[in-house]
């Protein structure tokens, strides 16, 4: 998975980007320096590359944060935004897992409404 993910990541060709793993089967992809449409197309291309080469299903969620078009982003700004985004998502995933473990144990009944 690592080699395929890295190959797909390198094809994105973004001025600033980062790919990080969270656990063994989740990834955080951050890209900066192109338009929103380019970003979503890149995510779709990345997703397709993984789906074509991995023997398992791949799920994705994508989001974006905007910088005013009149703001000239520097390399340092973009690198900071990429690192901060990974940190924020990583922290949210950890908190979500803690909450799930706290409230949904094997002893917790699960009700499914039909």
64-102 pLDDT tens trace: 666 666 777 788 887 888 888 888 888 888 888 888 877
CA 27-87-8 angle, to 5 degrees, is: 30
Phi, psi of 18 (to 5 degrees): -150, 145
CA dihedral 25, 55, 32, 97 (to 10 degrees): -20
11-38 pLDDT tens trace: 887 777 888 877 666 778 888 777 778 8
Rg (CA), the chain: 17
- The model carries a pTM of 0.63
**Distance, CA of 16 to chain centre:** 14
């Amino acid at each position: 998975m690592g080699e395929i993910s890295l190959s797909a990541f390198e094809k994105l060709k973004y001025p600033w980007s980062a790919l990080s793993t969270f656990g063994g089967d989740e990834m955080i992809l951050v890209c900066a320096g192109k338009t929103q449409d380019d970003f979503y197309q890149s995510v779709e291309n990345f997703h397709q590359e993984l789906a074509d080469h991995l023997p398992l299903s791949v799920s994705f969620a994508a989001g974006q944060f905007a910088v005013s078009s009149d703001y000239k982003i520097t390399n340092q700004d973009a690198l900071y935004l990429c690192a901060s985004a990974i940190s924020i998502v990583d922290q949210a995933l950890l908190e979500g897992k803690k909450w799930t473990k706290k409230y949904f144990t094997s002893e917790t009944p699960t009700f499914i409404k039909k």
